[in-house]
Amino acid sequence: MVGNDGQPDAMKKLLKITCLVLILMLVTNILPAAAAGAASDSRQTYLKIGIGGAVVVGAVVLIRTLVVNNKAAGLERAGDAFATEGRWDLAVQSYLEATGLKPRSKDLAGKLENAKLEAARMFLRKGDEARGAEQFEAAEEFYQQALQHNPASTEARQRLTELSMELVGVYLRRGLSYETVNRWPEALREYEKAYLLAPDNAEVANRYQIARARARSGLPLKAILFFVNRTGTPGVENLLTHELQLQLRAQARGAYAVLDQGKVDSILKEQAAALSSTFDEALAVDLGRILGVDEVIIGSIDAVEVKKRTQVQITAKILLVPSGRLVKEVKAFTYTFPAGINPDNWFPAFPGLAAELAKRLNQ
């Protein structure tokens, strides 16, 4: 379509140039009075060539214009026919091609805009029908096409939002069916679709991370279990584990997968007290077996204040499951919070601490 737009303009420019050349030839051949004889014949020959060239170019431009107009008219008639039949997506295609040939036509522009709106309504209806028949993936495709034809459609966006939760269920069930027969690559594909739609869903995130580890040979699955809190501020340990999960995932670069913290927290509540009276390495390995992970992360957090700048001291370990072998140890290091941060307002500053700890665990 771009080429069709440019060719008529190029031919018009060529015609203008040819006409200018013709005028110059006329001026240079008629005004001088000194030439005669053979020179006169030469001027007549050049004049004939110039006139002939202008006629040829003019004819080409005229023919080209007629061809373009006829083609545009044919496409417009096809669009009208599709519109009459209610096949609005095909009408849009025809009007688009016609508009490419006649970009200044207001009538075509109006028909195209109306066809796009009608096509969006058509795909919304098809999407509703597919959704009613529980063909959720087909419904999603129809709603997406409605949005393509009318990007400002609030109805299409609302339908896609409502549909997303139903699709999550479809992908999750399909992933579980693959998982039960150890077809982990297929399970990962389905869980990934669900995860993209609902990354905050604990069950979806958990299954996705497990499938990532199992589908890729040698990819360890990690779980952040607990940090013993000696700061005197309740809840700091939970905040650190959740922020660390986010930072480890962000820094993983495909080297490992991290189990969803919601799953870990539920197992801690259900099993920790029954297994041990102390948060220690033995308990960590037992919890790792229950969770089905390859490695567990544990540690401690202590608060220290030096020169009116709040600091914390962090330790961490990565243990192999089920042997309990030490894979990585982050010896005690001090993290200094920005000025003005203290235990009463330090929660928003924890992502920085978690990022530093994740970096040391990955070294």
**CATH number for position 250:** 3.40.50.10610
Q: What is the pLDDT of residue 2?
A: 39
Q: With contact defined as beta carbons under 8 Å apart, do 46 and 106 qualify? A: no
Q: What is the pLDDT of residue 4?
A: 44
pLDDT above 60 for 22: no
pLDDT digits (tens, 9 = 90+) for 35-52: 445 455 565 665 556 566
Of the residues 173, 188, 217, the one at which a domain ends: 217
Q: Tokens 């990962």 label which residue?
A: 188
Number of domain units in the chain? 3
Instruction: Kindly tell me the sign of the dihedral angle through the C-alpha atoms of 28, 29, 35, 41.
Output: positive
Q: What is the CATH number of the domain that holds 147?
A: 1.25.40
pTM for this one? Answer: 0.56
Tell me the residue range of the domain where 81 lies: 2-104
Is residue 31 domain-shared with residue 132, that is, in the same domain? no
Is residue 229 domain-shared with residue 338, that is, in the same domain? yes
Range in 2-6, 107-111, 274-278, 287-291 with the lowest mean pLDDT? 2-6
Q: How far apart are CA 62 and CA 72, in angstroms?
A: 15
Is residue 157 domain-shared with residue 242, that is, in the same domain? no
Alpha helices in the chain (DSSP H): 2-30, 38-85, 88-101, 106-132, 136-149, 154-180, 184-197, 202-215, 236-251, 261-267, 273-275, 281-291, 350-362
Q: 322: cis peptide before it, omega within 30°?
A: yes
Is residue 208 domain-shared with residue 248, that is, in the same domain? no
Is residue 355 domain-shared with residue 227, that is, in the same domain? yes
In a domain, 121, yes or no: no
